[in-house]
Amino acid sequence: MSGGVDPEAGNFRNALGAFATGVTIVTTRDGDGRDVGLTASSFNSVSLSPPMVLWSLAKDAASLPAFLTATHFAVHILAADQEDLSLRFAVRGAEKFAGLALERGLAEVPLLPQCTARFQCRTTFRYEGGDHMIFVGTVEQFEHTERPPLVFHGGGYALAVRKAVAEPAGQAEPDSSFSQDFLIYLLARAHFQLFLLLRRDLERHGLSEDQWFVLSILAVSDNRAAAELDGLLWPTGKRATYELLASLTAAGFAQLHGGYDPQARVTLTDKGRDAVIELVAAAKAAEEHAERSLGSAETHVLKRALRAIIRETDPGAPTLLTPLHPE
């Protein structure tokens, strides 16, 4: 899409949205001692020495008079989990500061907690910028954490995911073009290798992966019908056959209340619960091992993407009864 500037400014706004930014809340205190603040993505760095930053404020903003007279302001770079705070400070006239654990900074400017970074600034220049004023501040104090930041892009919130997670330059494997490309291969391999990390723990309890899945489902919500268990299990490629349930009963992990009846209830025994608790810890440890080269944003995106794939490819309910009997 190409063209001159649209007087409606809608297209221009969309084009500006192509530039990803962090999200900040800028705060100050007005002449009457009232706290003032708003969400802004127009922040950026200006100078290292002296340390300076800038942001822009609409000339028709209710908070303009406060910022024009304030000697200081604070810029808070929001963390990925502070979307609510971003939305709260984006609305005019709301009770923005109510209930927040505020601190006080230079010139009593309100400081918000739990941000990725905070800059306390002395207002140094105010510049003309069309329908906005540009505020340049000299940074007098700042704080910085490693919290992943909230990102704004294309009109919505986003996460910043590192582009280059160190990948070996040339895959040693000659089948790399197969393994790199095929999602089904990547899923199969990641699944099996993660399972290998758990296998020793499962073997110690004499459990197969199938049996462990059944116990895990029961640990979350006990006393299910056999058919219901099968329905939950089968999208993983496993089946809650009578044989599997009977084997869990025989080993003392679960109890099958009834015989070859899809409605027979299955409950966890104390032994089963103890085993699950231990295996959940082992599974979490295996996951942490698997994810150790991933950042928190990558892990979040990975799990969300897998859930999205599961939704998109949901095969619906299984054919009940028949598959409960082994073929």
Contact call for residue 157 and a copy of itself (CB under 8 A): yes
Question: Of the ranges 30-38, 256-264, 280-288, 319-327, which one interacts with a copy of itself (CB under 8 A)?
Answer: 280-288
Find, among 16, 50, 76, 207, the residue nearest to 136 by Cα: 50
265-268 and 254-257 strand pairing: antiparallel
In the set 62, 69, 113, 191, which binds a copy of itself (CB under 8 A)? 191
Residues 221-260 within binding reach of a copy of itself (CB under 8 A): 221, 232, 235-238
Using a 10 angstrom Cβ sphere, with 0-12 exposed, 13-18 middle and 19 or more buried, the burial of residue 131 is: exposed
Using rule CB under 8 A, residue 143 touches a copy of itself: yes
Please work out, in degrees rounded to the nearest 5, the angle formed at the alpha carbon of residue 304 by the alpha carbons of 300 and 305: 115
The span of 25-33, 91-99, 147-155, 266-274 binding a copy of itself (CB under 8 A) equals: 147-155
The reply to whether 315 sits near a copy of itself by the rule CB under 8 A is yes
Give the C-alpha separation, 268 to 259, whole Å: 17
User: Quick check: 322 binds a copy of itself (CB under 8 A)?
Assistant: no
User: Is 127 near a copy of itself (CB under 8 A)?
Assistant: yes
* By CB under 8 A, residue 90 contacts a copy of itself: no
CB-wise, 171 or 260, nearer to a copy of itself?
A: 171
> Taking CB under 8 A as the criterion, which residues in 36-75 touch a copy of itself?
41-54, 56
Which residue do the tokens 């073997």 mark?
Answer: 203
Residue 317 interacts with a copy of itself (CB under 8 A): yes or no? no
Contacts of 292 (CB under 8 A, 6+ apart): none
Q: How many CB atoms lie within 10 A of CB 235?
A: 14
CB 142 within 8 A of CB 108: no
Among 104, 204, 303, 325, binds a copy of itself (CB under 8 A): 303
For position 95 contacting a copy of itself by CB under 8 A, the verdict is no
